[in-house]
Structures are given as C-alpha cells and as structure tokens.
Amino acid sequence: MIDSNTHVLHHAKQVLLPMTIAAATRQPFNLYGWRVLDRWAYNSPEALQALERQGEVILLGRLLEQQEREQQVLMTDAALQALGKGAMPFEVLQAQEIQTELYSD
C-alpha cells in the first residue's frame, strides 16, 4: 500500500528509466496516472520493468488506459460521496471491480 504522503512518482523513479519518468510527466498524464505508476512500481516492480522493456509506447499506452479507467470511476458522484465519507480510492475501485494491479501479459 502506498501512503498518501509519499511523493508522486517516488517509487516509479526507483524502478523506471529517467526517460520513461519524463515521458510519464507530460500530457496526457496527470495525478491519477502518476499514482497508478507508483502503485505498479511498489507492488510489481519486475512486471513494470518487463513492460518498460517492451517499449515506452506500450508502457505509456497501458498507463493511459488505466489512468482513464480509474479517473472515470473516481470522478463519479457516487465515488466522490464515498471518498468524502472516508472511503479510500482503492475501496471505490474495488467496489466497481476495477483491476488496479499490473499483471504480466
């Protein structure tokens, strides 16, 4: 689990190449995507590195899909209400059956 006080991309910077981190900090990526990337780096560093070896475009494409999926769920009225009542983002995503972990293909 990543503590909300952890700096954005802290874990990802320890796992990924600097050029990959630089690409992930550009549009269209945002805080949602950076949190996904950190989660993947923390929970599955080997799988993330394997994805990076497949190519930056593949990794960033997968990241963008996940960012959009999670952001779409977390920005709904129901999710915002749940978050306002103390629910954690991973709980909201889990309730909507959103896969949050990175698994090798």
**DSSP readout, 12-54?**
HHHHS-HHHHHHHTSTT--HHHHHHHHHHHHH-HHHHHHHHHH
Q: Which residue has the tokens 């929970």?
A: 43
Q: What's the pLDDT band for 1 if we cut at 50, 70, 90?
A: very low
Tell me 88's DSSP state: -
Residue 56 to residues 2, 32, 62, 101, Cα–Cα distance (Å): 24, 19, 10, 19
Q: What's the pLDDT band for 94 if we cut at 50, 70, 90?
A: very high
What's the pTM value of the predicted model, to 2 decimals?
0.88
Burial class (CB in 10 A: 0-12, 13-18, 19+), 23: middle
For residues 7 and 46, the model is more confident at: 46
Distance linking the first and last C-alpha atoms of the chain: 23
